[in-house]
Amino acid sequence: MATALEAKRPRQFSLALVALLLAGALLIGLAYGPRLGLLMIVGALLGVSLYHAAFGFTAAWRVFISERRGRGLRAQMVMLAIAVLLFFPALGAGTLWGQSVTGFVSPIGVSVVFGAFLFGIGMQLGGGCASGTLFTAGGGNARMVITLIFFIVGSVIGSAHFAWWQSLPAFEPVSLVQVFGAGGGIGVSLALFGLIAALTLVMERRRHGGLEEAPRFNLRDSRWLTGPWPLLLGAVALALLNFATLALAGRPWGITSAFALWGAKIYEFVGGDVTQWSYWQSPANAEALRASIWSDITSVMNVGIILGAMMAATLAGRFAPTLRIPLGSIMAAVIGGLMLGYGARLAFGCNIGAYFSGIASGSLHGWVWLVAGFAGNMAGVRLRPLFFGPPPGGSARARSS
């Protein structure tokens, strides 16, 4: 009897979360339009996909840096390849199914390079990237809640310093779609993805003599709801859901602008004033600061990601938060979170808004972010033992954010 009751609890909790999600999406849709309500559901599907596929950018880069295992990096290249095939024609036309669409195309300068490098260090100390922080926190990882809190703090500080960083030298934004056209941009991008994937194959075979075998997954398996999913399934799901975001929101998926907004609203609630900061004087940011959080696309999708990850974790029977966190791990979460938040503001986004959606938008700044962010991860991997000690057996786990 006890076993039967224990088996029912995760399903009941998951059903309650589904009901909460649908109710929230309905209310938001009624208040701010059906597209925003649908975007909350897209966010939840992103959370489920991220959690079940354990699609982390941080661990994939750490494993390649420390062990030369490239399966995670190759999955990212597949994700990006699908994304550019979907995005570039729509961005070239400027419309998608009647909706006006634009990409994330940003300048390339000192702030992007430094911000991405800082973000990369924060990924390894904080234990996750922007998407990783959300889905692992939603999945019950209490340490990642600490990272998220200081991610928000760092985002606010970054918005305070934004004007100074933007005064430093920078090149104008460059779009591969505009330079080469949609077809040419796709060709250039696919060649670069193939080159990166080939490089990981060569380096992995050189180190290990062969490739890491991926876990088998049967399409007729019953693990769709409980997980785990293969990395490639996660890559396809993320690319398709980012495209759904473009169709519904008119722009790609982003995460960290909401953290700056949440932090700014909290700061103002306790008596602070951010309206004199240049970052909050741009028309879009000023309007977001005045409006309800529930009218903000990124905020609504972030809440959806957290709810989706919670649903996935409960269905998998792995939602078991613990507050027993070593002091070194807490310190790394605090420092890493601050670096993540600050770096994301300087670099016009994170691993999602700048790297994934930036490259999917054809922005050259997304490629610069990738190089600088990867360099930051290399530095972060070297700093991890100061907080966590040497990894058990010298191995970094692939299945984490």
Over the stretch 289-300, which tens digit does the pLDDT of each residue have? 999 999 999 999
At residue 14, the pLDDT reads 82
At residue 255, the pLDDT reads 96
CA–CA gap between residue 16 and residue 9 (Å, rounded):
10
Q: Report pLDDT digits (tens) over 224-250.
A: 677 688 999 999 999 999 999 999 999
Alpha helices in 107-175 (DSSP H): 110-126, 130-138, 142-166
Task: Return the DSSP state at 99.
Answer: E
Using DSSP, state whether 107 is helix, strand or coil: coil
Using DSSP, state whether 129 is helix, strand or coil: coil
β-partners of residue 170 are 109
Assign 323 a pLDDT band (cuts: 50, 70, 90): confident
From the list 312, 379, 332, 381, the residue with the least C-alpha distance to 50 is 312
From the list 242, 294, 291, the residue with the least C-alpha distance to 46 is 242
Assign 24 a pLDDT band (cuts: 50, 70, 90): very high
Average the pLDDT over 298-326 and give the result: 88
CA–CA gap between residue 119 and residue 128 (Å, rounded):
10
At residue 237, the pLDDT reads 96
At residue 85, the pLDDT reads 98
**What are the DSSP calls for 53-75, one per residue?**
TT--HHHHHHHHHHH---HHHHH
The HSE-up count of residue 4 (CA atoms within 13 Å, CB side) is: 1
Residue 399 predicted with pLDDT over 50:
no
Residue 4 predicted with pLDDT over 60:
no
Residue 49 predicted with pLDDT over 70:
yes
CA–CA gap between residue 383 and residue 121 (Å, rounded):
8
Mean pLDDT of the residues in the chain: 91
Task: Return the DSSP state at 353.
Answer: I
Domain coordinates of the chain in residue numbers?
Answer: 8-211+227-389
β-partners of residue 100 are 95
**What are the DSSP calls for 254-290, one per residue?**
--HHHHHHHHHHHHHHTT---TTSGGGGSHHHHHHHH
Assign 387 a pLDDT band (cuts: 50, 70, 90): very high
At residue 5, the pLDDT reads 37
- 318 Cβ neighbours under 8 A, 6+ residues apart: 139, 140
Among 7-21, 46-60, 147-161, 356-370, the least confident range? 7-21
| Strand-strand pairing, 95-96 and 99-100 | antiparallel
At residue 221, the pLDDT reads 63
At residue 227, the pLDDT reads 67
CA–CA gap between residue 351 and residue 224 (Å, rounded):
26
At residue 401, the pLDDT reads 41
| Residue 291 or 5, more confident | 291
Assign 7 a pLDDT band (cuts: 50, 70, 90): very low
| Residue 128 or 258, more confident | 258
CA–CA gap between residue 64 and residue 199 (Å, rounded):
11
Average the pLDDT over 309-320 and give the result: 83
At residue 299, the pLDDT reads 98
Residue 354 predicted with pLDDT over 90:
yes
At 15, list the tokens.
Answer: 């059903």
Q: Report pLDDT digits (tens) over 116-164.
A: 999 999 999 999 888 888 888 888 888 999 999 999 999 999 999 999 9
CA–CA gap between residue 2 and residue 33 (Å, rounded):
45
Residue environment code for 89-98, b if the CB has 16+ CB neighbours within 10 A, otherwise e: ebbbeeebee
